[in-house]
Structures are given as C-alpha cells and as structure tokens.
Amino acid sequence: MINKLVENIKKTRAPIVVGLDPMLDYVPEQVQKKAFQEYGETLEGAAEAIWQFNKAIVDQTYDLIPAVKPQIAMYEQFGIPGLGAFKKTVDYCKEKGLVVIGDVKRGDIGSTSAAYAVGHLGRIKVGGRSYVPFDEDFATVNPYLGSDGVNPFLKVCREEKKGIFVLVKTSNPSSGEFQDQLIDGKPLYELVGAKVAAWGEELMGEEYSYVGAVVGATYPEMGKVLRKIMPKAYILVPGYGAQGGKGKDLAHFFNEDGLGAIVNSSRGIIAAYKQEKYGKYGAEAFAQASRAAVEDMIADIRDAVQLG
C-alpha cells in the first residue's frame, strides 16, 4: 500500500490527505434534516448524516487527492451505527481509488495488538471462512507500549501489504509533556523515531517503508531532525491549517526527492463552507467549498515544497 500511496501522490502531485473527521456540527442543516427524517434523531440518524456528508465531499474531491484519513473517534462517538458509517466511508473511498488511512491510534500488547491489526488491516478466520472487518489501507499506532505493541501490526502489514503510521511527535500543544523529555540528552520522540526507522527497515516497499510516522506540522524544527532519523519513513503530518501549521513549515518534512510526507487537513477542508473565505458557496454547496479548499491547500504546498 505504500507503493500505491506514493503512486497516487505522484499522479495527483498533491501530497495531502483529507481528514474525514465529521463532527455533527459540521454537517449542514439540510443534510442532517434529511437523515433525521429517515431515521429520526437517533444514533442511526447521526450516522446517516455524517456518511452522506462524507460521500458528498469525497465525490467532489477524489480526483484531486491521493488519500483520506477518517478519524474513527468521530464515528465511535455515535456507537455501533457510527462505526457503520466509518466502514461505509472506508469502503466508498477505496472504490474511488483513494488510499485510506484509518486514524485509529490503537496500541496494545501481544494477542490484543494482533486483534487490532487484524480488525483494521487484516482478515479474521471464522470457522472455515475469512473476513476483512474494517479493511483500511493504513492505521495509526500508538507506541507507548514498545515493540510488543507494534510487532503484531508489522506481521499483518507484511501479510497484507498494508502499512502503519506510528505516533512520534504529535501536533498538539502538550505533546512535549512526555515526548520531548530528554533521555541521554535526546528527546523521547527521537528515540521513537529511531525505532520507527528500525521497524521499517524490515518492511520496505519500492521507495519507502510500510512503516511511517506521525509528526505534527506545528513542530517543523523537530520534523527536520526526524526526517533525517527516518529517511525511508513516510511522514503523516497533521496540524496544518486549523491547528496553525503553514505551508512554509512543511518543506522540512519532505525528502530531496520531493516525496516522503503527506499533509493532513480535516476541519479546514470538510468544514470549509463555514469559513469566510469560502462563504460564497453557502451550506448548500458545502462539498464544492471543500473542493476549493483542497485546491488552495495543494497550491499552498506546491508553492512551499519542491515536489518530485
């Protein structure tokens, strides 16, 4: 899947990923109303509303972008029906040729981590048959539990040719509380980055590894260092746009081949119609507003980064 991701990025010349993180507040009134008419003001109604919202945005943007990143928390908050909308979104995006990064930030140990890996990236046996439960292409993984938590994911990635992005330095203000703590003079995130590079060496695609990393756009200087520590890891970069990261900060995350990083924007794209800048579209044309925001984001990154 890393090969497909790189291929999609080269084809679109757009190293971006649209974060499908639908808060119900983002979903325009007319979409909510229609869903509630069909399913009532229920979890099923909310799930239908976010699924229809996603579908409209994907339909308007899939030709411009290589990948999407649905954040499972936004679906999980609507219980089982919400997770149904997550699954529908994953399947639909894959039909459209997009690479799907499940932002699930799972991480546990041994057989439990294996269960997450199977659930999100692999297949599970039931009697004599096998099923692909959620079937994302990539998943994000939390490294706090060490190699025991990551190895089961590597095993499934090897079998299924799928990938992971390991949290290294997250984009949020308090990420430094633990991640920046110095160990023998070096911050913890560098130690995690070195582990990502080591895990990834065993699992190489054509140009890049199946094992990537998450490094926030809000910490460009740290991105620069991590880029060198993990030369073959794709870096998934959250924190652009709404969280404060700018195009010019992004150059550090890319390699000289113009590859190696993919920048996420969620709210800035999917709720674009709420911004003054895209106000002319109005709530009715929310998906067109998302398309315009995608075009602007691509232009911003092409200005800032020498793409391959």
Q: How many CB atoms lie within 10 A of CB 111?
A: 8
CA distance 194 to 210: 15
CA distance 8 to 64: 10
State the minimum distance, in angstroms, from the CB of residue 127 to a copy of itself: 3
Instruction: Tell me whether residue 108 or residue 207 sits nearer to a copy of itself (CB atom).
Output: 108
Instruction: Tell me whether residue 52 or residue 142 sits nearer to a copy of itself (CB atom).
Output: 142
Instruction: Tell me whether residue 109 or residue 304 sits nearer to a copy of itself (CB atom).
Output: 109
Q: Is residue 29 within the footprint of a copy of itself (CB under 8 A)? A: no
Per-residue interface string for the shown chain with a copy of itself, residues 49-88, x marking contact by CB under 8 A: ----------------------x-xx-xxxxx-xxx--x-
Instruction: Tell me whether residue 195 or residue 291 sits nearer to a copy of itself (CB atom).
Output: 195
Q: How many CB atoms lie within 10 A of CB 303?
A: 9
Q: Is residue 192 within the footprint of a copy of itself (CB under 8 A)? A: yes
User: Angle 110-121/147-160 helices, nearest 10 degrees?
Assistant: 30
Q: Is residue 149 within the footprint of a copy of itself (CB under 8 A)? A: yes
Active site members: 105
In degrees to the nearest 10, what's the CA dihedral of 49, 53, 56, 59? -110
Q: Which residues pair with 71 in a beta bridge?
A: 103
Residue at token pair 């699954």: 87
Q: Is residue 262 within the footprint of a copy of itself (CB under 8 A)? A: no
Q: Is residue 251 within the footprint of a copy of itself (CB under 8 A)? A: no
Q: Is residue 30 within the footprint of a copy of itself (CB under 8 A)? A: no
Q: Is residue 198 within the footprint of a copy of itself (CB under 8 A)? A: no
CA distance 31 to 46: 10
Of the candidates 286, 150, 208, which has an alpha carbon nearest to the alpha carbon of residue 1? 208
Q: Is residue 279 within the footprint of a copy of itself (CB under 8 A)? A: no
State the minimum distance, in angstroms, from the CB of residue 175 to a copy of itself: 6
- Total chain residues near a copy of itself (CB under 8 A): 72
- For the record, the structure tokens of 175 come out as 């990420």
